[in-house]
Each structure stands twice: as structure tokens, then as C-alpha cells.
Amino acid sequence: MASSRVMPSSSPPRQTGGPSDLARFRSGSGIGSMNMDDIIRNIYGPDAVDGGGPTEPAPAPPEAAARRTSEEVWKEISATGGLSAPPPAAASGAGGGGSGAAVMTLEDFLARDTGARAAGMEGNMVLGFPDDGVESAGGGGGRGRKRAPMDPTDRAAMQRQKRMIKNRESAARSRDRKQAYVSELESQVAQLEEEQAELLKEQEERNQKGLKELMEKKVPVIRKKLLQDLRRTNSMEF
Amino acid sequence: MSRGRDPLALSQVIGDVLDPFVKSAAMRVNYGEKEITNGTGLRSSAVFNVPHVEIEGHDQTKLYTLVMVDPDAPSPSKPEYREYLHWLVTDIPEAKDACCFGNEIVPYESPRPPAGIHRIVFVLFKQQARQSVYAPGWRQNFNIRDFSAIYNLGPPVAALYFNCQKESGVGGRRFQGSS
């Protein structure tokens, strides 16, 4: 029952395909100006724009991306953060204690993500830390750097991305809402139809019963009358 | 595949607020003339007054507890106050209106979502016996699962939710700077 809200068949592949989801986003051609195809290409690999990519979970052409529930969206985002920002204890202090679980908020994810990525991916922010320490140091530096020296272009890019994620979540919620509403309507329709059928049946039965009773009452009446008539004709007064 | 699934599951009420349960009671919730079904959309003005809640049945010795929470407070994208407790009534007998015949532990506060479309959930528990329940110190961050565990209420017997948004509606163009 617990898995009823996530389609079981596609859940495991999604998790493994997921980690590079937003990673590709950032490390890809730059956030600059992306149209829908670019976004999809970034998420699902270059093959996915027209067909299905090999990394795709089974039933997922690009349209299916749109149909993921809010639950799944967050699962992927959490998986991204959890898998690529290593020792969660070290780097995710910024996450406010988020351990990659769904409790994490958007802000926390971005803060942690910024920290973990900044050292590795964005070449224009050179930290000069050795590779080993890049995680925790980057995390620490990233944490502090959340507000301070950010290029306007960077900030705009981050805001844009933030908005995109928020919008995606909102869209997913809206779809869930719609589905739930339709599902409720359907069950109401089924219930009402059933009720109507029963009421009609009941009405029909009552009619039949009434008719039958009427017929039964009529026959004796007629018979009696005939007998009386007969008797009367017999006993004439001559 | 997604058709005919429980609206409570589709809307993540099962998940965010409740664990899966088997429905064993029927309750009717009416705001004025309007009967609430899962996913009904209402604005703040429609839910200003206490609703009529009636549990179907004829045995007035059976008692129920009703909890009304908002898991999307203050905003669905950042639900920091999940779950916000709007109403808590205990010792409601079957076939009687909750507003008048139950024990109102936490008074009804009408939902006024500041942002987004919130799910407002009514959860019904069956009581083994008349019991006293203590009001929490504050309405936010209530947890129905914990509440049920603390007072040994077991799984819910019924649940119902509707969608609520602020009076002026959500969506549409915003003319001021927003993030």
C-alpha cells in the first residue's frame, strides 16, 4: 500500500537515472537561454528529444516527464542531492539537518547543491582547494557564499532555476489535484448510477405488484356480478 | 491506471497526513448548503462558519473524534506549519452534529490560506470510550499520526479533504516583484 502512490515498475530505474538529472542541468550548456528541448535534452540525454533515450525508464517519452507527480519530482531532487553531495553529515549542515529525505525544503536543497557543485562544476569560481577537501570545504564555503559575492548573471540564473523548480512542483501539484477531483467525480457517478438503477428497479417492482393486485381484485368482482345477474334473471315475477 | 484510485491517495493526503487505512464509517460535512466531497474547491468566505459534520449511523453510544488540519500551511511549496490544526472535537455521538454535540477541544478557526491552494483535511477516529484529550499549546506543526498514537485512537475510520484558496484566488499575473 505504501508504494501505491509511486508507480512501482518505474521507481527503481528512476532513482538511478535521477542523480544526473539536475547535475546535467547545471553542468550542461549553461543555463543562459534554454528552450524546452534543451531542458529535456539536459535531463534525459541527447536522444530523448525525439525518441526515448536509453537512460529512460520504460514508459517515459518527454511528455511523461510532465506527468510525474510532485512526489516523484521531490524524490528525484532528493536523490540528486543525496547522491552527489557526499558525507551528508559534513556538507549538509546547510540543509538544516536534511539527510536527503523529503523533509528538505527547496532552499536547503539549493544551498547544499550550490556548495557541493560550486567547487566541482562551475569553473569560473576557482577555489583552489585540493580534491579531497573539496566536498566539505566547498560545502562550508558554499554555505557562506550563499548570499555574498554572486555575479548578477549567476544570481539571475539561480533565481530562474529556482523559479523553474517551483513552477514544476506547482504544476505537479495541480495535476495531482485534477486527477483526484476527476477520480472523485467518477466514483460519485458510479454511485449515483447504482442508486438510480436500484430506485428504478424498486419503482418497477411496486408498479408490478400494484398491477397484479388490481387484476386479482377485479376478477372476483366481475364474477360476483354475473352470478347475481344470473340469479336475478332466474327469479322473475310472473 | 490512475483512474479509480482513491482521491485521498492521489492528492497525497495519504502520505503527507495519514497512513493508508480502511474506511469503516461515513461522515458528511456541509458548509451551509454545500456538501463537501473530496477535492471540492472552496474559497475562504465559503468556509468561514463552522461546518455541519454528521456521522452516519444510529448508535449514539459510539463516540468519535474529529480533527481538521491544513497540511499546506503557510504555503504548499513550503509547508512549514504542516499540519496546522483548525479544529478538534471529541466525544461526538453517531448521527449527531459535531458542532453542537461534541466536546470542542480546539475551537474552529476558519481557513485563510495566504498563498497557494491548500488541502484541508477532516479526519475521523473512533473512540473506544469517552476520553479526555488535551489541547496542544499551539495550532501549527500538529501531527495526526502522533496524536492518534498518544491517545490510542488507532487508524482513522474516515477522512475527507477539500481544496481552499484565499478569497482573491491564486494564479494570474502578479504586477509586483515576486520570487
The tens place of each residue's pLDDT in chain B, 179 residues long, gives 445 689 999 999 999 999 999 999 999 999 999 999 999 999 999 999 999 999 998 888 899 999 999 999 999 999 999 899 999 999 999 888 877 888 999 999 999 999 999 999 999 999 998 988 999 999 999 999 999 999 999 999 999 999 999 998 887 787 775 55
Instruction: Report which of B124, B142, B41, B131 is spatially closest to residue B86, judged by C-alpha positions.
Output: B142
> What pLDDT is attached to residue A144?
55
> What pLDDT is attached to residue A119?
45
B25 vs chain A: nearest CA distance in angstroms? Answer: 17
What residues of chain A, 22 to 61, have a C-beta less than 8 Å from chain B? none
Q: Does A8 touch chain B (CB under 8 A)?
A: no
Taking residues A1-20, report their average pLDDT: 44
Claim: this prediction has a pTM higher than 0.80: no
What dihedral do alpha carbons A68, A72, A74, A79 form, nearest 10°? -130
Instruction: Report which of A202, A228, A190 is spatially closest to residue B3, judged by C-alpha positions.
Output: A190
Mutate to test the interface with A, among B2, B3, B16, B36 (most CBs of A within 10 A): B2
Instruction: Report which of B96, B166, B86, B168 is spatially closest to residue B122, judged by C-alpha positions.
Output: B86
Per the CB < 8 Å rule, is A183 touching B77?
Answer: no
Question: How far is residue A26's CA from residue A113's CA, in Å, rounded to a whole number?
Answer: 10
Which are the contacts of A193, defined by CB distance < 8 A and separation ≥ 6?
A: none
Instruction: Report which of B51, B57, B52, B36 is spatially closest to residue B159, judged by C-alpha positions.
Output: B36
Pairing of strands B34-35, B40-43: unpaired
Residues of chain B found within 8 Å of residue A2, distances taken between Cβ atoms: 20
Of A7, A105, A179, the CB nearest to B10: A179
Q: Which residue has the higher pLDDT, A213 or A13?
A: A213
Instruction: Report which of A123, A85, A131, A121 is spatially closest to residue A104, judged by C-alpha positions.
Output: A85
Per the CB < 8 Å rule, is A163 touching B179?
Answer: yes
Residue A226: band (very low, low, confident or very high) from pLDDT cuts 50, 70, 90: low
* Closest residue in chain A to residue B37, using alpha carbons only: A184
Q: What is the pLDDT of residues A27-81, one digit of tens each?
A: 444 444 555 565 556 556 555 555 444 444 444 444 444 555 666 666 766 666 5
Q: Does B95 touch chain A (CB under 8 A)?
A: no
Q: Does B14 touch chain A (CB under 8 A)?
A: yes
Q: Does A176 touch chain B (CB under 8 A)?
A: yes
Per the CB < 8 Å rule, is B163 touching A106?
Answer: no
B7 vs chain A: nearest CA distance in angstroms? Answer: 4
- Check whether the bond before B74 is cis (ω within 30° of 0): yes
Which residues face B28 on adjacent strands?
B54
Q: Does B117 touch chain A (CB under 8 A)?
A: yes
